[in-house]
Structure 1
Amino acid sequence: MRKLAVVLFCVILTGCPHGFQAFSPKCEKPGSPEYELEAYCDQKCYDIIYPFMVSVQKLQDELKWRKMYPGFEKLGYGIFYIEQVKTATWEEAVAICHKMGAQLGEYDDGVEFEMVKKNYTRKGTYWQAIRYWPLQTSFKSNATGLPARYLNWDAAQPSTINSQVCTATRLGQSLFTDVCDEQYNYICKVDLPLKKK
């Protein structure tokens, strides 16, 4: 309710049907809200209104990705879809995530891994976007083709006896390897342009 009040406040304040993006008093050719605020508002006014504009922009961004990616939740630096019922092979999981406009999940760092683990992966086994490439003897991201960003291996892992090895996580624990034809749940991810702290 508070978020709705902020949005309505900004729309009323601008007096314009375009919302806060059209901060011009005449609603002609909406420009940069910051520029127009500085042009039509003294410093005290600017200091009061600017935080509301930032909040409204965040809400608009969230509404946009929620509409584009239903069923996804924001965790860390991206939005994740955690499939806890259906299972698939690693290749099938990649294809399913692509159909959703996402990539098979890979974590940026330990913080993001812990967020997903804490919220969703207490049950089941989930494919990750990392695959073993025997010719380069390295684990690479399926999404980027680059070396994996975050590898938190279980004890006695990784095992690369089989050349068709992909990574997964079981019960929200560390990563392990298994043959890519196994049937597991999966995690899809869309990276968002969020500032990494």
Structure 2
Amino acid sequence: MKNKIIWLLISMVLVQESKTSCAEWKQPETNCVNDFANQTNSLAKYDNPEKLVQEKLDVFDKRMEDIRRMIELALLSQTEQNIKRNVDFLESLQNVEHQLEKIKVQEAQWDHNLDNHNNLTKASSKKVNSDCIAKLLNIEQLLKEKFEEQEEKLKQKLEIQNKITKSLWQKQIDNIKPRIDSMVKSDSLKIIQEKFETLQKAMETQISNSITQFESIKNQMQDNVENFRKIGLKYYYIEQSENLSWYGSFHKCLTLGGHLVSITNLSEFNAITTGLQPHKHYWMDVNDLGTEGLYLSAATGLQATYLNWHTDNPGHNITNHCGELRFHENKHLMYISDCNDKELFICEFYYQ
């Protein structure tokens, strides 16, 4: 009975081992069933079950050893492949490191070249600055010496001039002093005072007459203002029939209480020329009678502030010195003509 129980247990173990072995090695189910039948038949042949179990265990251990070796071989193969892959990777890594080293060497070379360039630039800049500073100091020294020289010369001239002036004043005082002393002792001082009072009265009378004459002229000019009309911001008299020379026109404007028109800007120019007759020319105050090419205003005596010439004018003609508004190409523009030509004229009122 005991042997049957042991045999049954061994059979169960073998069955389980057989199933496990078949599952691991992926054998077909029919092979596993056949193995189990063969093993069962083998057990029946043995009278000693323990021996049978030992034999099966030895077979199982051998099979496990084979499996272990197969796994080790597989692992060894996989390890060799990994090592090979790692070697390739290491070679690539070494190539990258080699390239990085080259790049570092190139960067170091560039930095070195840049430092050399900067040093050369700084040295050149320092040299240029040093030269400039030296030149400036030299110029400053020369100017200082020149100034001191001029100052010394001027000081010497002033001292000489002061001495001469002082000497002249002293001579004048020496010449006048005897006369003053004699005048004080005599009645000459009283005579001089009387003459001074007479002269003062005459001057007062002359000033009074001048004021009266000025008021008369002013009133006359105010009466003449009726002959002027407002154009823009000023009053003008535009002669429409009488033709005079520039000099005659100048005098005529004075008798009317004004002067030949003095145009000072474009706005005045446009306002005046708009009302002029076409194909007529009008004298104005611009002239270069004093200096050839220097055009002054007869009203102010100063250089004209506004000029608007015709094309190719003014020319250099020794006989043409007086300015006019000449009609040409359907518009009036400034032109230099012979002062003796007979033209119309424009007067500007003195008091605006």
TM superposition score normalised by structure 2: 0.34
Kindly provide the amino acid, as one letter, of the partner of residue 184 in structure 1: E
| Aligned-partner Cα distance in 2 for 1:136–1:183 | 22
1:113 to 1:121, Cα distance in 2 relative to 1, 3 A: farther
Q: Note the aligned Cα RMSD (angstroms).
A: 2.0
| Aligned-partner Cα distance in 1 for 2:246–2:254 | 12
Counterpart check, 1:180 vs 2:339: yes
The structure with the larger Rg is 2
Summarize deviations over 1:52-74 as a string: whole Å, max 9, x none: xxxxxxxxxxxxx9754112111
Cα drift, residue 123 of structure 1: 4.1
Contact 1:83 1:187 (C-alpha < 8 Å) held by counterparts = yes
Cα drift, residue 133 of structure 1: 3.6
Cα drift, residue 159 of structure 1: 1.7
Counterpart check, 1:144 vs 2:300: yes
Summarize deviations over 1:139-162 as a string: whole Å, max 9, x none: 000011100121100000012311
Kindly provide the amino acid, as one letter, of the partner of residue 72 in structure 1: F
| Aligned-partner Cα distance in 1 for 2:247–2:335 | 17
Helix, strand or coil at the partner of 1:120: coil
Unaligned segments of structure 1, at least 5 residues: 1-64
| Aligned-partner Cα distance in 2 for 1:164–1:123 | 20
| Aligned-partner Cα distance in 1 for 2:309–2:350 | 23
Q: Once structures 1 and 2 are overlaid, which stretch shifts more, 166-175 or 127-136?
A: 127-136
The equivalent of 1:103 in structure 2 is 259
TM superposition score normalised by structure 1: 0.60
The equivalent of 1:189 in structure 2 is 348
Contact 2:262 2:297 (C-alpha < 8 Å) held by counterparts = yes
Structure 1 or 2: larger helix share?
2
Summarize deviations over 1:32-62 as a string: whole Å, max 9, x none: xxxxxxxxxxxxxxxxxxxxxxxxxxxxxxx
Alignment counterpart, residue 241 of structure 2, candidates 68, 85, 100: 85
1:132 to 1:160, Cα distance in 2 relative to 1, 3 A: farther
Alignment counterpart, residue 323 of structure 2, candidates 161, 164, 167: 167
Cα drift, residue 128 of structure 1: 0.6
| Aligned counterparts, 1:1-197, within 5 A | 67-133=223-289, 135=291, 137-162=293-318, 164-171=320-327, 172-193=331-352
Contact 1:78 1:191 (C-alpha < 8 Å) held by counterparts = no
1:191 to 1:75, Cα distance in 2 relative to 1, 3 A: farther
Contact 2:257 2:350 (C-alpha < 8 Å) held by counterparts = no
Helix, strand or coil at the partner of 1:112: helix
| Aligned-partner Cα distance in 1 for 2:291–2:222 | 40
- Return the structure number with greater relative CO, CA threshold 8 A, min gap 6: 1
Structure 1 or 2: larger strand share?
1
| Aligned-partner Cα distance in 2 for 1:66–1:119 | 24
Aligned length: 129
Moved over 6 A (4+): none
| Aligned-partner Cα distance in 2 for 1:117–1:192 | 21
Helix, strand or coil at the partner of 2:249: helix
Contact 1:80 1:189 (C-alpha < 8 Å) held by counterparts = yes
Unaligned segments of structure 2, at least 5 residues: 1-220
| Aligned-partner Cα distance in 2 for 1:113–1:191 | 18
Between the aligned residues of both structures, percent identity stands at 24
